[in-house]
Amino acid sequence: MRSEEYSGVLPRALPLGVLGGTFDPIHFGHLRLAEELAQQLALSEVRFVPSGKPWHRGALGATPVQRLEMVSRAIAGNPRFVLDEREVRKNSAGYTVETLSELRQEMGGEQSLCLLLGADAFLGLPTWHHWRELFGLAHLAVAQRPGFSLLQEGMDGLLREEIKQRMSADPADLQGLPAGRVMTCPITPLAISATTIRAGIGAGRSPRYLLPESVLDYIQAQNLYR
């Protein structure tokens, strides 16, 4: 299994991307989001951070160790993708603000950090632990389907104000500043969800072509989601 220590030679002046999630299981939707945002924003790397004990979810279908292994298999071969095990190693619920605080301490105050989010996750941000502190720790890059607007009817008022103050359309802003900007990034829409994959496996349907073959082989070997 790969460690969270990155051994490649990539310039630290470029933004470092952070993609968290339960990854139960990781699938092509996660991987394509990371790939397209890494290209659009010129990220030096994308750190996949599987959650250990997610505060917003009940029991998961796979153990933390199994989810780490699936992510490790899924990102193998992409030098820009890195597995970060820190949240799984904790015995308590891991919060994104804590993870970003740790990364900020490790990388220093000048390193540009970029939290990668789907649009739905971003719109739910006000329910997150100390969510307003996130903007002081990282930029937020929001992946969205083409034509989608973040400024929707019914959006939380505090979140709307944060967006108005922080929106940027220039990826160069993410290199010039360590944190604080919000940027939307159109990506290829893939209607794939881990929930659907788990339900399909439980019903005896094959998830082939929804996730990497290496991950599917592991799921079958471990008899997961049945």
What is the CATH classification number for the domain harbouring 107? 3.40.50.620
**Dist CA 96 CA 20 (whole Å):** 8
Within-domain flag for 158 = yes
Across 47-69, average pLDDT: 85
**169-206 confidence digits (pLDDT tens):** 899 889 889 999 999 999 998 989 999 999 999 999 99
Exposed / middle / buried, residue 161 (Cβ in 10 Å: 0-12, 13-18, 19+) = exposed
- Model pLDDT for residues 134-165, shown as the tens digit of each residue: 999 999 999 987 767 776 656 788 898 888 88
For 14-24, write each residue's pLDDT tens digit: 999 999 999 99
Query: Which domain covers residue 186, as residue numbers?
Result: 16-191
Establish if 201 belongs to a structural domain: no
Q: What's this model's pTM, rounded to 2 decimal places?
A: 0.90
Q: What is the pLDDT of residue 12?
A: 47
Q: Is residue 73 part of a domain?
A: yes
What's the structural domain count of the chain?
1
Domain annotation covers residue 7: no
Residue 2: inside a domain: no
Angle at 36 between CA 33 and CA 37, to 5 degrees: 80
Residue 205 covered by a domain: no
Examine residue 37 and state whether it is found in any structural domain, yes or no.
yes
How far apart CA 1 and CA 106 sit, in angstroms, is 22
111, part of any domain: yes
| The pLDDT value given to residue 83 | 98
Residues 78-96: tens digit of each pLDDT? 999 999 999 998 866 779 9
